[in-house]
Structure 1
Amino acid sequence: MCGIAGAWSPTPRDSADELRALGARMGSAIAHRGPDDAGSWVEPGVGLVLAHRRLAIVDLSPEGHQPMASPDGRWVIAFNGEIYNHAALRSELAALGHGFRGHSDTEVLLAAITQWGVEAALERGNGMLALAAWDRRDRVLWLARDRVGKKPLYYGWSGDGTFVFGSELAALRAHPALRTEVDPDALALLLRLDYIPAPHAILRGVHKLPAGRLLRVDQALVRAGDAAFDPASAPQTWWSSLDRQRAAIRQGFDGDEGSALSTLDTLLRDATALRMQADVPLGAFLSGGTDSSLVTALMQAQSARPVRSFSIGFDNAVHDESGYAAAVARHLGTDHTRLHVDGHAALDLVPELPRIFDEPFADSSQVPTALLCRLARQHVTVALSGDGGDELFFGYGRYARALRNEQRLARLPRQLLARLAGDPGERARLGGLAALRAELAAGDLQGLARQRVSRWRRPEDVVIGARRVSTAYDDPAAMPGVGTGADALMQMDFACYLAEDILTKVDRASMAVGLEARAPLLDWRVAEFAWSLPLSMKWHEGTLKHLPKQLLSRYLPDELVHRPKSGFGAPVGDWLRGPLRDWAEAQLDERRLREEGHFRPEPIRAIWAEFLAGQRKWHTHLWGVLMFQAWRETLNQV
């Protein structure tokens, strides 16, 4: 697990030393992602520099140093991530004549690219990555992101026309010519979703490579610049969750629930075992919910000694699941560490959030996630998580509500529906009649899903100069078109919410402290198996995630398996009315909002006043604005 960065000038003019200095500066901006080693590689005749920061996980020796060049001199790669099946690939490549100096997965990936090319090497790998591969012979730079979006990759053009890229926006901002003009469309997405989905980024001229995409960069593209570039269509797809889901649904699962349970057990055991490979201490995030408990159970079942497990809880009991986690740990026999956090400890973290999350990010579970990662890093360097189970196995209550509401809307006469429906705008967030009218106006299942995931319903009315841009929750092409409505709901979340919110949150929070997070449930084989299952194996007699819970019942008693889902949040509303009130008031000052020119102050101030007067639900609207305001203060800091 590491960080990568680089730059390619359209008119080479820098010396090798100047390019190395630039690479060192960009790499230093993301040193937290790789505190163990730093490296750079330059090609002065082209104007290219690749930089790398290393967090040593597999092969701690210098043989794992990056950027790494192939023996024939054609390829140079800078790679962030892990190839979990590197041992099997190593054996296959050795049979084809490749030799290896060490035992790092980086060397295996490089040999695979040399043997089969970039795209075929990606297809053969099982892992998570953000990759920069420089083909010295053809003078082509390849940028790639893993199948589901575990590892991030930003890219774009600086003010002097240089093509820049990196694992975090901070690496790009370290380039002296990068423009720092905020993109209002991306800011509106932040207010709507709590995050900014790929290919969008908060700065103009900067983009995020979507999951499963591969971008070919040559000198002509570098010289053409951002004006002639379409970030939505230019990257090619090497793996598509939508296409793979469609294929899995059409193929279906040929077996009963017993055989499905056996298959899931086999796949998850192997996925977990692959992710337990490390030359450093390893543990697990354990919330006490189905997914993290299942991953921890499978780890403990394959470990000769107690697995290290970690949980965190708040003093607000509504948000504290740590008691369940401790009970699961006792039953499984893990070596468990439970941190109970009072409000002051959590609030001390708030000023650091812009630095930790790099780009404006407003999922309030960022706070407990960052605290949990800090706790785990005191004891281990790698931690396994249960991410992905909800999106693959029908784990959200909002899925069931959306399907029920879709059925009810279909039964209403069109004239009555037209009379009852309406668009109450932001008031829909408050529930009651306003929320009902918004649901009636949604129109279809995709509209109902959009209602469920939206914070600000019309952020374009608040963000100055913003246009509405499409996401997986708006674009009909993002719907599978086969299977059930449940399949469509899970696909939208898998493509957008999982990749761009959950995985972003875990990546930034873990890498901020030099911790690697791995997710067995997001093994591509597990995902494609889950998509093949009928809904009855995921949602059965009102039980969400039916099949994973059946499997978990092999390891835990029923009272620890079947319990209400409570989520992983933070008491933000309490904080904003209490110890964060003065900070929030300063961030939302009407004069400041007007002078900075990103927001129309009136709707924000109105919501703030209503919130302080007792309206409890506005904190979700306000947190997005506050996270942007706090991030904006860092714009001129490198």
Structure 2
Amino acid sequence: MVSACGRYVVVFNGEIYNFLEIKKDLESRAYPFKGHSDTEVLLAAVSIWGVAAAVQRFNGMFAIAIWDREQRQLHLVRDRLGQKPLFFGWIGGGFAFASELKALRVVPGFSGRLDRRAIGRYLQSGYVPSPDCIYEGVHKLPAGHILSIDETQASEPTDLRTLQTPYWSVADYAQNAIRKPFQGTAEEAVDALNIELQKATASRMISDVSLGAFLSGGIDSSLIVALMQAQSQTPIKSYALGFGEHGAGETAYAKAIADHLGTEHTELHITGQEAIDTVPNIPQIVDEPMADFAQVPNYLIAKHARPHIKVALTGDGGDEFFCGYSRFYRTPKRWHRLQRLPLPVRRLMARAQAKMLRSDDVRDRKGTSLLRLQASSLDELYFYGMCHWLPSDPLLADGAIEIDSQVTDARRWSGIRNPIERLLLIDQIYYLCDVILTKVDRTSMASGLEVRSPLLDYHVAQWSWHLPLDMKFRDGKGKWILRELLARYMPRELYERPKQGFGAPIGQWLSGPLREWAEDLLSAERLHRQGLLNPGMVRRVWQAQRVESRAWQKKMWCILMLQAWLNAEQA
């Protein structure tokens, strides 16, 4: 679309939720609107205020490319939390960008060379952390950044530090916000959060197509559905996913909540076979390899809900901003115990124990324990706990896996001293953006379903950092304030229960119906031909997984998702 003044041209993927508010402001300045879309409002805002100032006003999920005809300059913009992807690179003597890697692969001159360092980081983390990309010469625009490039810089690679500018940073905001904590009572904090989430939910319910919500029966999704129903004159559509023989038990919680709220509820039941049949297709959906098995249920609920709705609201973001994962408080406890012994002593103990174990033992969960024993900081301990493959594992064919210093460099968030808050921030920067938001976006868009998450509203994210930690984590439980707010909408007995995940029997599937698929991907001939992984190590782990599947499941799935992605990429 071209701006009314003719200066700006935009390509836009996503949604600007506050576009009506911005439009009203621009109408007061007599801007000549012709339609009703957020894209037209985006262009109008850029025309009046300029790119940088306009982006500061946008509240939404977006990847935007703006061409300035007058200055002959291209601006790429990604939303604050990274809900929408944006890739770019210098390809074939020019500068290319896209929301999907598939689009860049067909650009003339695209080399397709894999980045060995990025593969190592994937094997560590189970995903390729931003700003790296699986391909050499291609990058992800970091969340909350603007990249500006002119014609003179488009023909060959330029130092990204001179092109990229952050317009918002969760790390910077968090380190300032904790010095200005919320001063009210707990009850006043619940009131304030209720107002913030009501606004965030209402803005995401504006849609000219059919809309509903995913309802798992957990705290986050139940709260969003409750907020939606409270603001709707008619029953909203809610959907729950039941899996296999345990599906009825899982969906019963969601149904009880739906009945209480009065939603138009639908249970979507999938069989184990359907999940199994989906696994080999996942690498064709995602841009880069990812070892999170939850891609499967995410894709299936989007696929089954899509015939009924085109937009779905979810509870994503609650765990990351309100301390929902047990690792946030278990890791500091472990670090406190470790610090009782000096680091040199712990390293001696680890080396002595390693000599007593079989070589394979060092590379399963016992190996992780030994590496944790040698951690030099809380950040490093957390990183090792999140690892799939360890730096000491001889998995790469051409050398050791390089430690990702971005996560272990404590200087990046030195302003946050509380250990739980430090881990919250690390997760918001990496795990939330590169795993949760990536898998939700790719799996939903593959089915043509748009997913919106009120808890990811940046106003809610900012507000959460002003909230004292004891209003997030209290009495041994996370998400305290979300639980308190939800109690205003339904009885506690409907949602107070242990957190549940998608418990698929991956080990059994790899020994049964997925064994042939896995054997083909892990064949020694294929591994030698690819030259990326150590065939001997991979085959030993594959054999160990079949004997003791639980101990090796996480590591094995990480390899299989890489191999499946490579197979799809080369097809």
* TM-score bucket of the superposed structures, by smaller chain: over 0.9
Which of the numbers 168, 183, 201 marks the counterpart of 2:100?
Answer: 168
Matched letter for residue 458 of structure 2: W
SS at match of 2:217: coil
TM-score by length of 1: 0.85
Structure 1 counterpart of 2:545 = 611
Q: 1:453 to 1:598 in 2, by over 3 A?
A: same
Structure 1 counterpart of 2:167 = 238
Structure 2 counterpart of 1:45 = none
SS at match of 1:99: coil
Structure 2 counterpart of 1:288 = 217
**Alignment pair present for 1:541 and 2:475:** yes
Structure 2 counterpart of 1:625 = 559
Aligned-residue identity in percent: 44
Question: For 1:453-507, what per-residue CA distance to the aligned partner results, in whole angstroms no more than 9, with x for missing partners?
Answer: 1111128732234662636422224325224111110000000000010000000
Structure 1 counterpart of 2:136 = 204
**Does the Cα contact within 8 Å between 2:63 and 2:78 map onto a contact in 1?**
yes
SS at match of 2:327: helix
Matched letter for residue 278 of structure 2: L
1:337 deviation in Å? 1.5
**Alignment pair present for 1:347 and 2:276:** yes
Question: For 1:164-192, what per-residue CA distance to the aligned partner results, in whole angstroms no more than 9, with x for missing partners?
Answer: 11001011112132111111111112211
1:320 deviation in Å? 6.8
Matched letter for residue 177 of structure 1: G
Which of the numbers 23, 35, 39 marks the counterpart of 1:102?
Answer: 35
**Does the Cα contact within 8 Å between 2:115 and 2:136 map onto a contact in 1?**
yes
SS at match of 2:12: strand
Which of the numbers 500, 515, 532 marks the counterpart of 2:449?
Answer: 515
**Does the Cα contact within 8 Å between 2:302 and 2:449 map onto a contact in 1?**
yes
C-alpha separation in 2, matches of 1:116 and 1:74: 13
Structure 1 counterpart of 2:145 = 213
C-alpha separation in 2, matches of 1:481 and 1:316: 49
Q: 1:582 to 1:404 in 2, by over 3 A?
A: same
Matched letter for residue 240 of structure 1: S
C-alpha separation in 2, matches of 1:584 and 1:255: 56
C-alpha separation in 2, matches of 1:548 and 1:107: 36
Structure 2 counterpart of 1:128 = 61
Which of the numbers 64, 89, 97 marks the counterpart of 1:156?
Answer: 89
C-alpha separation in 2, matches of 1:469 and 1:162: 33
Structure 2 counterpart of 1:46 = none
**Does the Cα contact within 8 Å between 2:175 and 2:413 map onto a contact in 1?**
no
How many pairs does the alignment contain?
565
What are structure 1's unaligned runs of at least 5 residues? Answer: 1-67
**Alignment pair present for 1:563 and 2:563:** no
For 1:387-406, what aligned pairs fall within 5 Å after superposition?
A: 387-406=316-335
Which of the numbers 430, 445, 461 marks the counterpart of 1:527?
Answer: 461
**Does the Cα contact within 8 Å between 1:200 and 1:208 map onto a contact in 2?**
yes
Q: 1:313 to 1:255 in 2, by over 3 A?
A: same
What are structure 2's unaligned runs of at least 5 residues? Answer: none
1:281 deviation in Å? 0.6
Q: 1:411 to 1:469 in 2, by over 3 A?
A: closer
**Does the Cα contact within 8 Å between 2:171 and 2:425 map onto a contact in 1?**
yes
Question: For 1:302-359, what per-residue CA distance to the aligned partner results, in whole angstroms no more than 9, with x for missing partners?
Answer: 1111111112122264997333222222221211121222211111212321221122
Which of the numbers 155, 178, 193 marks the counterpart of 1:264?
Answer: 193
**Does the Cα contact within 8 Å between 1:393 and 1:530 map onto a contact in 2?**
yes
C-alpha separation in 2, matches of 1:428 and 1:275: 48
SS at match of 2:154: helix
TM-score by length of 2: 0.95
SS at match of 2:202: helix
Question: For 1:512-571, what per-residue CA distance to the aligned partner results, in whole angstroms no more than 9, with x for missing partners?
Answer: 111111110011111111111111111101111100001111122222221101224533
Which of the numbers 176, 182, 187 marks the counterpart of 2:114?
Answer: 182
Structure 1 counterpart of 2:289 = 360
Q: 1:426 to 1:261 in 2, by over 3 A?
A: farther
Structure 1 counterpart of 2:430 = 496
Question: For 1:238-281, what per-residue CA distance to the aligned partner results, in whole angstroms no more than 9, with x for missing partners?
Answer: 11010111111111111111111000000001100000000001
C-alpha separation in 2, matches of 1:522 and 1:495: 13
Question: For 1:76-106, what per-residue CA distance to the aligned partner results, in whole angstroms no more than 9, with x for missing partners?
Answer: 0011111111111001011112121111011
Q: Which sits farther off after the overlay, 407-416 or 421-430?
A: 421-430
**Does the Cα contact within 8 Å between 2:299 and 2:444 map onto a contact in 1?**
yes
Which of the numbers 6, 11, 14 marks the counterpart of 1:78?
Answer: 11
1:162 deviation in Å? 2.0
For 1:268-347, what aligned pairs fall within 5 Å after superposition?
A: 268-315=197-244, 317=246, 321-347=250-276
Structure 2 counterpart of 1:455 = 388
Superposed CA RMSD in Å reads 2.0
Structure 1 counterpart of 2:371 = 438
1:419 deviation in Å? 3.7
C-alpha separation in 2, matches of 1:263 and 1:257: 10
SS at match of 1:372: helix
C-alpha separation in 2, matches of 1:105 and 1:328: 34
**Does the Cα contact within 8 Å between 2:368 and 2:385 map onto a contact in 1?**
no
Matched letter for residue 396 of structure 1: Y
Matched letter for residue 235 of structure 1: Q
C-alpha separation in 2, matches of 1:316 and 1:463: 39
Matched letter for residue 229 of structure 1: D
Q: 1:471 to 1:391 in 2, by over 3 A?
A: farther
SS at match of 1:250: coil
Question: For 1:43-87, what per-residue CA distance to the aligned partner results, in whole angstroms no more than 9, with x for missing partners?
Answer: xxxxxxxxxxxxxxxxxxxxxxxxx10111110001111111111
For 1:571-582, what aligned pairs fall within 5 Å after superposition?
A: 571-582=505-516
Matched letter for residue 159 of structure 2: F
C-alpha separation in 2, matches of 1:182 and 1:414: 37
C-alpha separation in 2, matches of 1:428 and 1:69: 59
**Does the Cα contact within 8 Å between 1:310 and 1:375 map onto a contact in 2?**
no
1:129 deviation in Å? 0.4
